[in-house]
Amino acid sequence: MRPTVNKSLTYSLALDLGTTTLAGWLCDDRGCILARQRTANPQAELAADIVSRLELASAGRGAELRQALADGVEKLIAALLREGGVQRAHIARAALAANPGITHLLAGKPVDSLIFPPHRPVFRAGGAVPAAQLAMNLSCDVYLFPLASGYVGGDLAAFLFGVKSVAPGTLFVDIGTNAEIALFDGRRWRVTSVAAGPAFGG
């Protein structure tokens, strides 16, 4: 059953852009989820894995990869608005989490620093940017979750921001094409990553 939409409220988008899947949620000001959607990342038609996409971008096809991703994000947002019965103009906030490769491609940033040692992002995100800079059709700014390193991205950061309380020695593992690992030592988080696609990506 379609949720009741209060037109006096403004709405928020939460987007998780993965190498394989793009996922999104539409929320109201009270934190209620009005819609959730997912779709395949269309970049996969150009290159299957993130390293291949970064190599393709380095070879001069970054704009093509960026447009494919932007098209997928637009499809995702349109589906969320349709399911939630909300007008695009009523979106007041948006937040986006993605791995460093996807973040760089969407933002149109150079990717060579991710491909070659020491594998560091050229920008750290962790702030709001105009949607137009991300080729997104929204009137609000979009918050990009920060990138910890070349292979520890905003998706893990977004999860850790959402952890309310945690005991020292707690370990979190996000297993995907790239497995990201976070350990809380009682004072701060220590994070790393490892390639997991060959073992778990199927």
Question: Mind listing the pLDDT tens digit for each residue in 33-48?
Answer: 999 999 999 999 999 8
Question: Mind listing the pLDDT tens digit for each residue in 110-166?
Answer: 999 999 988 899 888 889 999 999 999 999 999 999 998 888 999 999 999 989 889
Instruction: Tell me the DSSP string of 129-166.
Output: EEGGGGT---SSEEEEPPP-BTTB-HHHHHHHHT----
Q: What is the mean pLDDT of the chain?
A: 91
Q: Of 2-6, 165-169, 181-185, which gets the smallest average pLDDT?
A: 2-6
Helix and strand tally (H, E) in the chain? 6, 9
This prediction's pTM = 0.88
Residue with tokens 């150009």: 46
> At 20, phi and psi to the nearest 5?
-100, -40
